[in-house]
């Protein structure tokens, strides 16, 4: 039987999620895109391993992202074509947006599965939050396409590391009023 999942300190969680990107940025800046991609892949596996060792669980989104990093990073290295690693954020963000949209259209709010442990919202709140994330992931996919197709590899890596995360933080902070407005108290277990 597996040990129960533990909560992870938010700073540690962010470090484990951002660490591989920082490794990617540094390795790309000093060694180039191919060694940077290899370092990104290794750092991603290490971050997932540490996440599991600490929390006894791996969050869904970092796991999905890691699978794509390994697939597209592997294609980049095997075919010696950096297009694959540059396409990865577009495909991942478009996929997240599409999954959330299909869920919304079929009455399944997948975002609730990701965030339900963090907070509890009304059904309307989950719907609005889902719509917001659908749009945000679509915008990230579009921005990635614009940057990698029109700027240098170094600019793209810099945007990926120092542009996407601040955008995500600002977007998340902008959602706080929506979350607060639609928050409900979780049901409590009756005392025997």
Q: What is the DSSP string of 152-164?
A: -HHHHHHHHHHTH
Tokens of 94: 């478009």
Largest CA distance in the chain: 64
Give the residues of the chain that fall short of pLDDT 50.
Answer: none
Cα–Cα distance measured from residue 41 to residue 27, given in angstroms and rounded to the nearest whole number: 11
Of the candidates 138, 144, 58, 139, the one whose C-alpha atom is nearest the C-alpha of residue 99 is 138
First to last CA, the chain: 28
The pTM of the whole model exceeds 0.85: no
Locus of tokens 């600490």: 54
How far is 87 from 92, CA to CA, in rounded Å? 9
d(CA 80, CA 93): 24
Q: According to the model, what pLDDT value does residue 55 have?
A: 83
| Residue 57 DSSP one-character state | S
Length of the chain: 192
pLDDT at 60: 77
Give residue 112's pLDDT. Answer: 86
């Amino acid at each position: 039987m597996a040990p129960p999942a533990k909560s992870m300190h938010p700073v540690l969680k962010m470090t484990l999620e951002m660490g591989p990107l920082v490794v990617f940025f540094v390795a790309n800046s000093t060694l180039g895109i191919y060694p940077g991609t290899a370092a990104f892949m290794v750092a991603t596996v290490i971050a997932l391993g540490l996440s599991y060792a600490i929390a006894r669980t791996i969050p869904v989104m970092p796991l999905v992202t890691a699978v794509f990093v390994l697939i597209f990073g592997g294609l980049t290295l095997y075919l010696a074509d950096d297009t694959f690693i540059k396409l990865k954020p577009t495909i991942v963000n478009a996929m997240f947006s599409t999954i959330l949209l299909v869920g919304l259209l079929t009455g399944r709010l997948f975002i609730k599965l990701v965030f339900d442990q963090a907070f509890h919202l009304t059904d309307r709140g989950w719907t609005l939050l889902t719509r917001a994330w659908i749009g945000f992931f679509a915008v990230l996919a579009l921005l990635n396409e614009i940057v990698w197709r029109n700027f240098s590899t170094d600019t793209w890596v810099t945007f990926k590391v120092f542009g996407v995360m601040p955008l995500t933080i600002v977007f998340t902070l902008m959602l706080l009023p929506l979350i607060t407005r639609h928050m409900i108290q979780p049901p409590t277990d009756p005392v025997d």
